[in-house]
Amino acid sequence: MNLLPFEILQIRSQFLYSIRTFFHENHFFEIDTPTLKKTPGMEPYLDPFLVSSPHSKNEGYLITSPEYSLKQVLSKGLERIYEIAHVYRSGEKGVLHTKEFLMLEFYISNTDEKGLIQFCIQLLEHLNNHFKNIGFSTSDCLVISMEELFFQKTGRGFSREDLVFTIKKNRLLDDFSIQTYSYDDLFFLTFLNCVENRLGENPTFVYDYPQELASLAKVENGRAKRFEIYWKKIEIANGFYELSDPYLQRKRFEEEKALRKKLGKEVFDIDEDLIQALIAGIGNSSGISFGLDRLFMIFLNHKDLRFVSPYYQSPPPESPPSKEPESPDE
């Protein structure tokens, strides 16, 4: 679809209006949270931008996600909230990344990850009805566990032994290097090279991750209750049945701090406001973040953010695939 810049801006405005209409009709409160915070996200593979001023070398960081702030709002008693936020990530590479992008993040109380998947399908169906011929159909959606997806694409599961087998079979690493890799490293190396690139074009909802990759999700029966959405082989969203135990969350944050240190990245203090929100209680809630620029790009049948994002800032040239996972949700 070849559109002039002003036409893209017009459609983008309608796109955002349609999203807000959907959430209003489903009784959500729109929230706005700070984009500058003293404590950024803890994710090991994301790097925030440091903000300085003439008065201080460290005024804080631009957020990589509004998640921590939204969970504080969730603890106040609102059961359905959403935000369309500007977020910022340093060090991203490739035509699917930009330093600044729009993120849709929302939370629903008393809903697990399976219920959230169905709600996301309703959202995409709503947008499809508003913007004709974007190619979304509920009958085309594939909802599949990560383990089943691994078996389909590699013939093996995702135990450490299975990952090592697949890596050796595809000659992704030598025997010595394999011994130096953590489980996370082995998983993402296998997923990026042998699974993600073999996904189909239809919307795919992948749930039940290895418990080692739980991050901010609950773990039940040895599986992390989280999911990701892919469309046209592009990751567009990352959802969780949210971990609500403050003590377990602190433990996971400490593990993420240790991993950031191991990776040679800046190590941040734990966000105590988030811990207090979990102590106050967020209930059995599920939440998800969508990369709106990527979703809009797919609607316009493009494969490059430069053609659809008014905020596009060119990152460095894309490097060969590495063991680090692609950061989601642009």
* pLDDT mean over 187-212: 96
The Cα 265–Cα 316 span in angstroms is: 19
Q: List C-alpha distances in Å: 79 to 30, 70, 149.
A: 12, 11, 33
Give residue 144's pLDDT band: very low, low, confident or very high (50, 70, 90).
very high
Residue 67: which H helix or E strand, with range? helix 67-74
The Cα 269–Cα 262 span in angstroms is: 16
Q: Which domains does the chain have, with CATH numbers?
A: 5-137+249-307 (3.30.930.10), 145-199 (no CATH)
Tracing tokens 């593979």 back to the chain, one arrives at 45
Contact in structure between 216 and 70 (CB atoms under 8 Å): no
Give the lowest-confidence range in 129-133, 221-225, 322-326.
322-326
* pLDDT mean over 145-168: 98
Interhelix angle for 5-25 vs 292-299, to 10°? 120
* pLDDT mean over 160-169: 97
**pLDDT, tens digit, for every residue of 223-280?**
999 999 999 999 999 999 999 999 999 999 999 999 999 999 999 999 999 999 999 9
**pLDDT, tens digit, for every residue of 56-103?**
878 899 999 999 999 999 999 999 999 999 999 998 788 898 899 999
Give residue 323's pLDDT band: very low, low, confident or very high (50, 70, 90).
very low
The Cα 80–Cα 12 span in angstroms is: 24
Q: Looking at the DSSP assignment, which residues form a beta bridge with residue 223?
A: 210, 220
Average pLDDT taken over every residue of the chain: 92
Give residue 53's pLDDT band: very low, low, confident or very high (50, 70, 90).
confident
Give the lowest-confidence range in 3-12, 107-116, 240-249, 276-285.
3-12
Q: List C-alpha distances in Å: 167 to 160, 184, 200, 206, 321.
A: 10, 13, 22, 21, 14
Contact in structure between 223 and 210 (CB atoms under 8 Å): yes
Among candidate residues 34, 43, 35, 33, the one with its CA nearest the CA of residue 78: 33
